[in-house]
Amino acid sequence: MRTIFQHIKGDKTIWAIVAVLAIFSFMPVYSASTNLVYVVGYGSTLGHLVKHVVLLIMGFAIIYGVHKIPYRYFSGGSVLMLPVVLILLAYTLSQGTTIGGANASRWIRIGGIGFQTSTLAGLVLMVYVARYLSKNKEKKIIFKESLWQLWLPVAAVLILILPANFSTTAILFFMILTVVFVGGYPLKYIGFILISGVVVLSIFILIAKAFPDAMPNRIQTWQNRIENFSDEENKESYQVEKAKIAIATGGTFGVGPGKSVQKNFLPQSTSDFIYAIIVEEYGLVGGIVIISIYFLLLFRIFVVIKTTTTIFGILLVIGVGIPIVFQASINMAVATNLFPVTGQTLPLISSGGTSIWMTCFALGMILSVSASKEETEEDILDDNPLNILHETID
């Protein structure tokens, strides 16, 4: 055991949090998968559990491999990956299918495995933004130059994600504005970008309304979710209604592991609404424990930020770390009817390969930053992508 810990670097508390969330997820995923087996007719409960465990093991391998990479390499790596994710997003959008009459062009299949490209794109984009801000920290920001170097790539990625996944687009846009604010980008320019984003979204909605066949029912889906959430007569959507029943049934200590009833009626019980199943089976106490673990993760992220010595390291941890906790908060808020349905999973607990892997990749980068004690700003700035390729080959 001591030999294993010798090879694990970085914040040990973050490692422990990841392990606790992963191990805890086994029972909820196994329990909630009965919906997929007996209602949808897909696979077996044991099969879903084994798949989830394998995905988590691969996730831990990703964390271990990534945290061994000096984090300065991620800066240049984002430049190399940006064209790749743009191509993947365009391909994903063009290969979209319709599910129940609604556009679901979020996924592509690579080697028989479903892959949600927006999660990878979001990760790459946050690192790219951190890179730009760190490289221009000591320079006067020229807005016209930043439009080409920073905001054009950001806009390209977000526009390609928007048609199929509004919630992810909104979260990314909000987090990017947060990072550029922390990174010292002029506030007046941030205001202009925010207004521009609202204008672009409005234009997109008008175009989607004018040409409904291009994106079947997407705007209507967004509208229905908002109306269902704000309906004073409590005409909730079916998912939210079942989630509220599950939470109310759980009480203080829950009905017990595996004894959820609403898992048989609640769609997406293993992913988007798994928190409702957790509260039903483990009660208010279990729900509060999960919330506390995520906030402990947030605290440790701030500890890493405080001890990081480079601007890029600080912005990198903010850009890839805060969204994990933010996504968890949104997932739990949706399950408790505090927020409209968004389709965001609960990090490291919900089933789903892409979400688990990208979360693990982000955690690996955070651990890489926390493990680095001798990086200097000059090391970070000397990250020409071609140099990184040469160093990797050597």
- What would the pLDDT profile of 360-391 be if each residue is shown by its tens digit? 999 999 999 999 865 555 555 555 544 544 44
Tokens (6 digits) for 14: 């973050």
What mean pLDDT is predicted for residues 309-316? 93
Q: 323-358 pLDDT, tens per residue?
A: 999 999 999 998 888 888 777 889 999 987 788 999
Angle, alpha carbons 278-273-342 (nearest 5°):
145
Residue 150 has a pLDDT of 94
286 touches 279 (CB < 8 A): yes
Range of the domain at 363: 24-393
pTM for the complete prediction?
Answer: 0.87
Position 198 in a domain:
yes
Calculate mean pLDDT across residues 98-121: 63
State the burial class of residue 179 (Cβ atoms within 10 Å of its Cβ: 0-12, 13-18, 19+). Answer: buried
Q: What is the 3-state secondary structure (H, E, C) of the chain?
A: CHHHHHCCCCCHHHHHHHHHHHHHHHHHHHHHCHHHHHHHCCCCHHHHHHHHHHHHHHHHHHHHHHHCCCCHHHHHHHHHHHHHHHHHHHHHHHCCCEECCEECCCEEEECCEEEEHHHHHHHHHHHHHHHHHHHCCCCCCCHHHHHHHHHHHHHHHHHHHCCCCHHHHHHHHHHHHHHHHHCCCCHHHHHHHHHHHHHHHHHHHHHHHHCCCCCCCHHHHHHHHHHHHHCCCCCCCHHHHHHHHHHHHHCCCCCCCCCCCHHHCCCCCCCCCHHHHHHHHHHHHHHHHHHHHHHHHHHHHHHHHHHCCCHHHHHHHHHHHHHHHHHHHHHHHHHCCCCCCCCCCCCCCCCCHHHHHHHHHHHHHHHHHHHCCCCCHHHHHCCCHHHHHHHHHC
| Number of domains within the chain | 1
| Spatial CA neighbour of 197 closest among 159, 145, 253, 238 | 159
Instruction: Tell me, rounded to whole angstroms, the distance of Cα 351 from its chain centroid.
Output: 13
| Within-domain flag for 266 | yes
Decide if 260 is inside a domain: yes
Do 340 and 243 meet the contact criterion of CB atoms below 8 Å apart? no
Residues 6 or more apart whose Cβ sits within 8 Å of residue 345: 271, 272, 274, 327, 331, 352, 355
* pLDDT single digits (tens) 183-235: 999 999 999 999 999 999 888 888 877 766 666 555 555 555 555 555 544 44
The region of weakest confidence among 2-16, 205-219, 264-278 is 205-219
Over residues 117-127, the pLDDT tens digits come to 889 999 999 99
Q: How many CA atoms lie within 13 A of 125 on its CB side?
A: 32
- Rounded CA separation 297/380 (Å): 26
Gap between the Cα atoms of 58 and 71, Å rounded: 21
What pLDDT score does 317 carry?
A: 96
Half-sphere exposure of 67 (CA within 13 A, CB side): 23
Encoded amino acid at 254, one letter: G
Can you tell me the distance from the alpha carbon of 316 to that of 321, in angstroms, rounded to the nearest whole number? 8
Confidence of residue 77 (pLDDT cuts 50, 70, 90): very high
Q: E strands within the chain?
A: 98-99, 102-103, 107-110, 113-116
In-domain check, residue 2: no
131: its two tokens: 């890179």
Q: What is the pLDDT of residue 361?
A: 96
3-class DSSP assignment, residue 253: coil
- Is residue 268 one of the residues assigned to a domain? yes
In a domain, 6, yes or no: no
Q: How far apart are CA 347 and CA 296, in angstroms?
A: 14
pLDDT higher than threshold 80 for residue 254: yes
Within 13 Å and on the Cβ side, how many CA atoms surround 154?
A: 28
State the Rg of the chain over Cα. 21
Q: Which residues contact 279 (CB under 8 A, 6 or more apart)?
A: 246, 247, 250, 254, 286, 287, 335
Would 9 be classed as within a structural domain?
Answer: no
Burial 219-237, CB ≥16 within 10 A → b, else e = bebbeebeebbeeeeeebb
